[in-house]
């Protein structure tokens, strides 16, 4: 009786580990290679699944659902992983059709920490802003703006603007770029980077901000600030400030401008 009980227990345990077809057990567990380990500053993974006798697999990421059956000749390719710990679970199938039990899935875990990562943009990136989802960067030496997905730094597009783009801001729907070398600003639609307009301002625009309705541009070489209506780019006024204005911001009621060479700031009524 003891031998029979022991044999029954052995069969039960085997059934817990493997889903058997035709009464045969799978040759071995699936294995993984190439997966990230420890802490990494990138958001992708390319994982090879193998194992003695394993011909196919299923996998899941974190708390997601299991994938369709996949040949071991195809890798697990992941991208856009958010910061934090991620785990990949794999179950293998042997040539006889036996599956590794989900309860004994092969597991790999690592942590993604994107802080400190580097992302390529254009030449001499100078200005930067956030549109709520993506990062926009002015490339002063390329005459372009690069759009990056904030979650993982993936480049979503590169768009031509004016000469020596310097400063950049977001108005809630569009991106505005101050082009220091062509004395104008470019308006881009944030959703797809399409150019919506180019508007003349003063000489050497290097600073830009949005007040909720209008765009304000600091003209470094003209010692002035230009106010544009954000809806259509119309010039609403040009105002004298100090020598070599550069930085500019809105406080909810007023515009503040830094005057580099006169060592002052100017406050303007918005």
Cα radius of gyration rounded to whole Å, the chain: 29
Q: Do domains 2-112 and 125-269 have the same CATH topology?
A: no
pLDDT of residue 89: 98
pLDDT of residue 16: 43
In terms of residues, how long is the chain? 270
DSSP state of 263: T
pLDDT of residue 21: 41
- What is the mean pLDDT for each group of 10 consecutive residues in the chain (270 residues)? 42 42 59 96 94 96 97 96 95 95 96 86 97 98 96 93 98 98 98 98 98 98 98 98 98 98 97
pLDDT of residue 137: 98
d(Cα 163, Cα 143) in Å, to the nearest integer?
Answer: 5
pLDDT of residue 151: 84
- 91-143 pLDDT, tens digit per residue, is 999 999 999 999 999 999 999 988 777 889 999 999 999 999 999 999 999 99
Pick the CATH number of 2-112 from 3.40.47.10, 2.60.40.10, 3.40.190.10, 3.20.20.80: 2.60.40.10
Domain extents in the chain: 2-112, 125-269
pLDDT of residue 26: 52
Q: Looking at the domain that runs over 125-269, which CATH code has it been given?
A: 2.130.10.10
d(Cα 214, Cα 171) in Å, to the nearest integer?
Answer: 8
Which of 228, 213, 217 lies closest to 165 in space, CA to CA? 217
d(Cα 195, Cα 179) in Å, to the nearest integer?
Answer: 14
**Distance spanning both ends of the chain, measured CA to CA:** 93
User: Residue ranges of the alpha helices (H) in the chain?
Assistant: 2-17
Ranges of beta strands (E only) in 230-263 are 235-240, 245-250, 254-259
H or E segment to which residue 27 belongs: none
């Amino acid at each position: 009786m003891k031998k029979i009980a022991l044999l029954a227990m052995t069969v039960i345990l085997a059934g817990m580990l493997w889903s058997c077809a035709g009464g045969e057990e799978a040759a071995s567990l699936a294995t993984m290679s190439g997966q990230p380990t420890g802490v990494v500053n990138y958001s992708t993974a390319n994982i090879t699944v193998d194992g003695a006798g394993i011909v196919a697999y299923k996998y899941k990421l974190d708390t997601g659902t299991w994938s369709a059956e996949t040949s071991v000749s195809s890798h697990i390719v992941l991208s856009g992983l958010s910061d934090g710990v991620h785990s990949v679970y794999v179950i293998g199938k042997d040539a006889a059709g036996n599956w590794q039990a989900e309860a004994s899935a092969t597991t790999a875990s690592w942590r993604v920490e994107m802080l400190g990562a580097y992302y390529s943009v254009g030449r001499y990136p100078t200005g930067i802003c956030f549109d709520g989802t993506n990062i926009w960067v002015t490339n002063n030496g390329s005459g372009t703006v690069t759009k990056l997905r904030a979650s993982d730094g993936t480049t979503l597009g590169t768009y031509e603007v004016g000469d020596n783009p310097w400063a950049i801001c977001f108005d809630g729907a569009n991106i505005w770029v101050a082009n220091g070398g062509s004395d104008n600003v470019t308006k881009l639609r944030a959703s797809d980077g399409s150019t919506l307009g180019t508007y003349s301002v003063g000489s050497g625009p290097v600073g830009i901000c949005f007040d909720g309705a209008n765009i304000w541009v600091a003209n470094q070489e003209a010692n002035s600030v230009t106010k544009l209506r954000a809806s259509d780019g119309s010039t609403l006024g040009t105002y004298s400030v100090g020598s070599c204005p550069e930085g500019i911001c809105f406080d909810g009621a007023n515009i503040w401008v830094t005057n580099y060479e006169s060592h002052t700031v100017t406050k303007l009524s918005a």
